[in-house]
Amino acid sequence: MDWSYLFKHWIGTLIMAPIIAQIIDLLMNKNNQILNFYESFPLFILFGLFFSTPTYLLYSILFYYLKYKNIKNVYAKIILISFALLGIIITFWLISGTLIYNGILIYCISSIITGTFFKIKTEK
């Protein structure tokens, strides 16, 4: 298994989450300001990177273990995505706040999409 999947999944989730949040806001007609998106995007990335680091450090240990055990890529992907979702939920519960459910929904959708989109390549 190639380590690039771990970083693609992590960075992809961080980049896609604010885009999904903006789409949901536009569909719900809550916020029609695209300019607000451009102002908040770097903050989403910065805070997402900070709060997701513990989850992805544990994720990397799990990735290494799955790689060591030679688990099929399909099963490894399901396990890794599930672990990332669990990490997202726990992180938002620890942070708490008024937007906890929105944050969980947005980041979980983003993680599922990016996790399934990218392929785990086998090292040669």
Alpha helices in the chain (DSSP H): 4-27, 34-68, 73-95, 100-117
Across residues 107-120, what is the average pLDDT?
95
Say if residue 3 is exposed, middle or buried (CB neighbours under 10 Å; 0-12, 13-18, 19+). Answer: middle
The model's pTM: 0.87
Kindly calculate the radius of gyration of the chain based on its CA atoms and give it in whole angstroms.
Answer: 15
pLDDT score, position 74 = 92
pLDDT tens string 19-56: 998 888 778 766 556 657 777 888 889 999 999 999 99
Of residues 123 and 86, more confidently modeled:
86
DSSP string for residues in 98-123: TTHHHHHHHHHHHHHHHHHHS--PPP
pLDDT score, position 35 = 58
